[in-house]
A = this chain, B = another copy of it.
Amino acid sequence: MTEDMTRREFAGGTMTAGLMLGLNGALQPETGNRAPVRVGFIGIGGRGTALLKTILELDGVRIPALCDVLEPNLAQAQDVVEQAGQDRPAGYAKGPHDFERMLERDDLDAVVIATPWRWHVPMAIAAMQAGIYVGSEVGPASSVKECWDLVETHESTGIPCMFLENSCYRRNMMAVLHMCRLGLLGELVHCQGGYLHDLRGRIVQGKGTGVQLPEGGDYRTRQNRTRNADIYPTHGLGPMAKCLNVNQGNRFVSIASFATKSRGLRAWAVDNLGVDDAHAQIDWAMGDVITSVIQCQNGETIVLKHDCALPRPKTFMWLVQGTKGLYSEEADGIYIDGRSPAHAWEPFDRYQEEYEHPVWREYLKTGIKGGHDGSDFLELTAFVDSVRHRRPAPVDVYDMAAWMAVAPLSEQSIALGGKPVPYPDFTGGKWMSVQES
């Protein structure tokens, strides 16, 4: 099976047969390979531990080694593995570069990376260089160059790197993807997505995360203090990119970004900690609402928002719009020309059932597991399946580079007053020959 074919299958609505198999133990894997997949973890704080617990629910996964800069995190995660009936994994906690020692092991098929954002790419690169299949948590790129390094390492080593963007595996977005493939929305024209989530307390104080910066706060705090950019673009963008066949017959051509003034974090600190508290003196770099518009090769636009510093209900703001209808997450509704009552949203739930993605249809039979409404379990199923069969990643290094690059590219555009900046083609032209099914 060629890389192109596999990637097309994912995008084509049937996803990988392997993922299906992971959901149904009665079926035999096509290659017959049932050797355990040996997965190490780099970063086992809150997020890493959640992923660890979820991956342990899969058949045929062994955890030989774990790495974290914090000993208590490490010990707790070792306990988790033992409690799941496996040998206590080796531990690596000798400073921030101890992961490099872990990657020297010869018993790792794959690693999951769930560290603070700026470590994702260097760790992914080191793992690929060590010949180890990567599953990387999401976050922003630090630079465009970093995205290129990621892609080039993949191409020079031949080792896959999967971007663990769980939003692609959410039930609603997989049904919408399925509908798009079936043509229900017609030719796609416009999409929306974003990360609109009130994280003020967490950003200001950095509570709830393991690694505290010397100046207080965590990696999210640091990014808010230093960057004016969409620093968390991939939940909003990932499912839209899949619907639009980005990197598979389509590509991002340009991005223009616009930041509001920064008011929300200081207002929160004043109201909650007092005007004399040190947190109320911080000069935040990031605008409260970042709006980006991505123009695509095939003539579509995507509106993307980042909005984490103001009080508001959470939403991903997903909207997928075509010549025959549209889906809106915020409306929790769908409108199909000639089928829906004129000018009125239909509740999405009926369509969810009718157009359930085949993977989710199987999944629901066995029961939803793990975090983020079950999407973590599905993404890890796909990850382990890809590793087992040495298949390319269903959300691959080109997706990872393109989606993460929103951060530095939006930063550039904002610095230029909203001027569109060109989007690098990380596929090096391969998007032209990888057509949607």
Residue A34 at the chain B interface, CB threshold 8 Å:
no
Given A311-B337, A420-B417, decide whether A190 and B321 contact each other with a Cβ distance below 8 A.
Answer: no
Residues on B with beta carbons closer than 8 Å to the beta carbon of A289 = 189-190, 301, 321
Given A293-B291, A303-B291, A419-B419, decide whether A345 and B313 contact each other with a Cβ distance below 8 A.
Answer: yes
Residue A335 at the chain B interface, CB threshold 8 Å:
yes
Residues on B with beta carbons closer than 8 Å to the beta carbon of A337 = 311
Residue A101 at the chain B interface, CB threshold 8 Å:
no
Q: Which of B258, B295, B312 contacts A326 (CB 8 A)?
A: B312
Residues on B with beta carbons closer than 8 Å to the beta carbon of A254 = 417-418
Residue A299 at the chain B interface, CB threshold 8 Å:
yes
- Selecting from A66-74, A112-120, A166-174, A260-268, the interface stretch reads A260-268
Within 8 A of B (CB), among A286-303: 287-289, 291, 293, 295, 298-301, 303
21 residue pairs bridging A and B, Cβ less than 8 Å apart: A189-B261, A189-B264, A189-B288, A190-B288, A190-B289, A190-B291, A198-B343, A256-B256, A256-B293, A258-B295, A261-B300, A263-B323, A267-B323, A289-B301, A291-B303, A293-B293, A293-B418, A311-B336, A311-B337, A328-B330, A330-B331
Copies in the complex: 2
For the complex formed, measure the closest distance between the CB of A293 and the CB atoms of chain B, giving whole angstroms: 5
Residue contact A323 to B343, C-beta cutoff 8 Å? no
Residue contact B263 to A295, C-beta cutoff 8 Å? no
Residue contact A418 to B256, C-beta cutoff 8 Å? yes
Residues on B with beta carbons closer than 8 Å to the beta carbon of A321 = 289, 307, 310, 312
Residues on B with beta carbons closer than 8 Å to the beta carbon of A310 = 189-190, 321-323, 326
Residues on B with beta carbons closer than 8 Å to the beta carbon of A303 = 291, 303
Q: Taking each of A301, A323, A325, A343, which has the highest tally of chain B beta carbons within 10 Å of its own beta carbon?
A: A323
Q: Which of B256, B263, B314, B344 contacts A258 (CB 8 A)?
A: B256
Residues on B with beta carbons closer than 8 Å to the beta carbon of A189 = 260-261, 263-264, 288-289, 310
Within 8 A of B (CB), among A245-267: 254, 256, 258-261, 263-264, 267
For the complex formed, measure the closest distance between the CB of A259 and the CB atoms of chain B, giving whole angstroms: 8
For the complex formed, measure the closest distance between the CB of A369 and the CB atoms of chain B, giving whole angstroms: 24
Interface size on A, residues (CB 8 A): 51
Main secondary structure of the interface of A (DSSP, over half): loop
Residues on B with beta carbons closer than 8 Å to the beta carbon of A345 = 313
Residue A324 at the chain B interface, CB threshold 8 Å:
yes
Residue in chain B with minimal CB distance to A255: B418
Q: Taking each of A287, A293, A307, A335, which has the highest tally of chain B beta carbons within 10 Å of its own beta carbon?
A: A293
Report the Cα distance A258→B322, complex, angstroms.
17
Residue A100 at the chain B interface, CB threshold 8 Å:
no
Residue A187 at the chain B interface, CB threshold 8 Å:
yes
For the complex formed, measure the closest distance between the CB of A147 and the CB atoms of chain B, giving whole angstroms: 22
Within 8 A of B (CB), among A312-349: 312-314, 321-326, 328, 330-331, 333, 335-337, 343-345
Other A-B pairs beyond A259-B301, A260-B301, 15, CB < 8 Å: A186-B267, A187-B267, A189-B261, A190-B291, A190-B307, A258-B301, A260-B299, A260-B300, A267-B323, A293-B418, A310-B326, A311-B323, A311-B335, A313-B333, A419-B420
Report the Cα distance A335→B312, complex, angstroms.
6
Report the Cα distance A89→B303, complex, angstroms.
51
Report the Cα distance A196→B310, complex, angstroms.
26
Residue in chain B with minimal CB distance to A315: B331
Residues on B with beta carbons closer than 8 Å to the beta carbon of A267 = 186-187, 323-324
For the complex formed, measure the closest distance between the CB of A225 and the CB atoms of chain B, giving whole angstroms: 18
Report the Cα distance A62→B310, complex, angstroms.
51
Residues on B with beta carbons closer than 8 Å to the beta carbon of A299 = 260-261, 287
Report the Cα distance A300→B264, complex, angstroms.
13
For the complex formed, measure the closest distance between the CB of A437 and the CB atoms of chain B, giving whole angstroms: 21
Residue in chain B with minimal CB distance to A328: B330
